[in-house]
């Protein structure tokens, strides 16, 4: 008993439907791990505003620093590389966007050959013993259009768009880091200027002390050993000044490198002591940090792109539909094809492509997309943890540095008095030269430590500003 033609058609449709249902159910996207909830505040501080919302022009209240940052934004090579990456991502998005629409190709084709009997019997003319000669010329246009029934091409387009947005956030990240790096080097440079001034001032004090001890020796109240000790201390301090000058030079060169220019003197403020710390340390809410930090936003867009790539890879298991319309001139010879309207040919080809022997390859691509999706999720979680930890560390460090700076300021004042006291006692014969040397050494260390603490305060404030997502528009 043979089935009717309609029965064959009905069975074929039922079979295709079963294949589609099975494909959709058997290829499921694995569940991603749960993310830990973000704390509601930083150190139980619920500020409504944040320094991360302030533009860098307003945050840094030094016109010369603002000028350097503006020059860096114009000439920094890393920033230019980031801009080119954005262009690459933009072209990739345009390519994926164009895949949704039909393509149009101009075709000039000549075909010639023999058509011989086939194994099933007969040729195109029905005679299995006749060898026919086929010649064909075609000049015209052909379009190919894959119908995006399942949304696979749209998923790829959305993935490319999210990657484009991620590269844009990558540029913001470069800007944020560059603004922070320029300002930190600038403050380090000002701090080293103060350190050099402190060392040079102590050199003058030590030179006076050396002259005094020489006079004491001539009067028989000091020994050659005392003169040698004071001289050695002076030589050590002078060598420290030369080392500090080298540090200043290297810091200037590092700053020039970020600005994209060759080494040259850096025009800067007269003293770090004249610059006030920018604004109060308002940090806002952790949820606001997610909206400002470029690295978190970049990781979020990369996660969304990975989600779309997983969906596109899953839909690779499903059949694809395509249409190929064409129009042109077609005949056995070129002169005949050019005769209108006899040579005019219009046609439409439709196709259904279902993967059968490529299942392993498609499965491997799907598994790779799933693994990449998990990596993107972990990177997103890592960027959130890193951002929260940075804010917490810098916020607490600023408070501690303020206390340390206050204590070291008091220590320096006490040791300066100790130097004056030791000099007076030495002149009166109530103190030894070793006590004078010790007092001078300690006051130099205290002054350098105090300056270093002030530098650290400025650097930590800049790091907190960067950690909260400040520094880009």
Tens of pLDDT, residues 30-88: 777 777 787 877 776 666 678 888 899 989 989 999 999 999 999 998 888 988 988 89
Task: Indicate the SS3 state at residue 323.
Answer: strand
What percent of the chain has pLDDT above 70?
82
Average of per-residue pLDDT values in the chain: 83
Our separate counts of H helices and E strands in the chain read 11, 4
Sequence-separated (6 or more) residues with CB below 8 Å from residue 57:
66
The whole-number average pLDDT for the span 87-98 is 84
Q: What is the CA radius of gyration of the chain?
A: 39
pTM of the model: 0.81
Q: What's the pLDDT score for residue 222?
A: 85
Q: Report the alpha-carbon distance of residue 176 to residue 296 in Å, rounded.
A: 13
Place of tokens 């922070």: 180
CA 369-374-378 angle, to 5 degrees, is: 145
pLDDT-wise least confident of 29-33, 174-178, 290-294: 29-33
Q: How many residues does the chain have?
A: 473
Could you tell me which residues are beta bridge partners of residue 109? Answer: 138
**Who's near 123: CB < 8 A, 6+ residues apart?**
115, 116, 117, 130, 132
With beta carbons less than 8 A apart as the criterion, state whether 229 and 210 touch.
Answer: no
388 contacts 38 by C-beta, under 8 angstroms:
yes
| pLDDT score recorded for residue 321 | 80
Identify which of 17-21, 192-196, 427-431 has the greatest average pLDDT. 192-196
- Quote the pLDDT of residue 2: 44
Which letter, b or e, does each residue of 93-117 get, where b requires 16 or more Cβ atoms within 10 Å of its Cβ? beebbeeeeeeeeeeeeeeeeeeee
Q: What is the pLDDT of residue 133?
A: 46
pLDDT at residue number 401: 93
Residue with tokens 């060392």: 199
- Confidence at residue 47, expressed as pLDDT on a 0 to 100 scale: 65
Residue 5 in 3-state DSSP?
Answer: helix
> Do the beta carbons of residue 272 and residue 191 sit within 8 Å?
yes
3-state SS track over 152-199: HHHHHHHHHHHHHHHHHHHHHHHHHHHHHHHHHHHHHHHHHHHHHHHH
Q: Which of 162-171, 267-276, 344-353 has the lowest mean pLDDT?
A: 344-353
Q: What is the pLDDT of residue 1?
A: 44
**Distance between CA 314 and CA 358 in Å, rounded?**
14
pLDDT at 333: 59
pLDDT at 280 (0 to 100): 59
Residue 273 has pLDDT above 90, yes or no: no
pLDDT of residue 134: 47
């Amino acid at each position: 008993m043979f089935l009717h033609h309609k029965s064959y058609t009905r069975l074929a449709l039922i079979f295709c439907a079963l294949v589609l249902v099975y494909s959709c159910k058997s290829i499921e996207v694995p569940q991603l791990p749960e993310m830990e909830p973000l704390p509601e505040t930083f150190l139980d501080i619920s500020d409504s505003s944040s320094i991360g919302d302030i533009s860098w022009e307003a945050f840094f209240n030094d016109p010369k620093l603002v000028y350097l940052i503006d020059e860096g934004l114009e000439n920094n090579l890393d920033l230019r590389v980031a801009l080119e990456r954005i262009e690459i991502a933009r072209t990739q998005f345009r390519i994926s966007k164009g895949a949704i629409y039909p393509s149009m190709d101009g075709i000039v084709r000549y075909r010639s050959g023999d058509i011989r009997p086939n194994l099933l019997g007969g040729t195109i003319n029905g005679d299995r013993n006749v060898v026919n000669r086929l010649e064909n010329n075609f000049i015209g246009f052909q379009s190919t259009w894959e119908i995006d029934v399942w949304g696979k091409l749209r998923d790829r387009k959305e993935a490319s768009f999210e990657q484009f947005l991620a590269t844009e956030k990558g540029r913001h990240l470069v800007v944020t880091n560059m603004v922070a790096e320029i300002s930190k080097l600038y403050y380090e440079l000002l701090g080293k200027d103060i350190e050099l001034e402190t060392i040079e001032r102590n050199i003058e004090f030590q030179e006076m002390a050396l002259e005094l001890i020489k006079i004491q020796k001539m009067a028989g109240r000091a020994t050659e050993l005392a003169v040698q000790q004071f001289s050695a201390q002076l030589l050590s301090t002078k060598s420290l000044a030369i080392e500090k000058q080298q540090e200043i030079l290297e810091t200037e060169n590092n700053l020039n490198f970020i600005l994209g220019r060759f080494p040259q003197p850096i025009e800067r403020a007269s003293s770090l002591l004249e610059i006030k710390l920018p604004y109060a340390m308002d940090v806002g809410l952790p949820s606001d940090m997610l909206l400002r930090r470029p690295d978190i936003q970049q990781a979020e867009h990369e996660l969304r792109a990975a989600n779309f790539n997983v969906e596109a890879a899953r839909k690779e298991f499903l059949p694809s539909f395509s249409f190929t319309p064409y129009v042109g001139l077609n005949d056995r010879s070129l002169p005949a094809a050019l005769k209108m309207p006899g040579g005019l040919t219009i046609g439409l080809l439709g196709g259904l492509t279902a993967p059968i022997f490529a299942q392993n390859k498609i499965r491997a691509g799907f598994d790779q997309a799933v693994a990449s999706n998990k990596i993107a999720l972990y990177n997103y979680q890592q960027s959130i943890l890193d951002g929260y930890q940075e804010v917490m560390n810098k916020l607490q460090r600023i408070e501690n540095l303020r206390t340390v700076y206050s204590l070291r300021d008091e220590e320096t004042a006490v040791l300066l008095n100790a130097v004056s006291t030791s000099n007076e006692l030495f002149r009166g014969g109530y103190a030894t030269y070793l006590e004078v040397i010790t007092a001078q050494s300690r006051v130099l260390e205290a002054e350098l430590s105090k300056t270093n603490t002030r530098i650290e305060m400025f650097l930590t404030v800049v790091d907190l500003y960067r950690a909260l997502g400040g520094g880009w528009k």
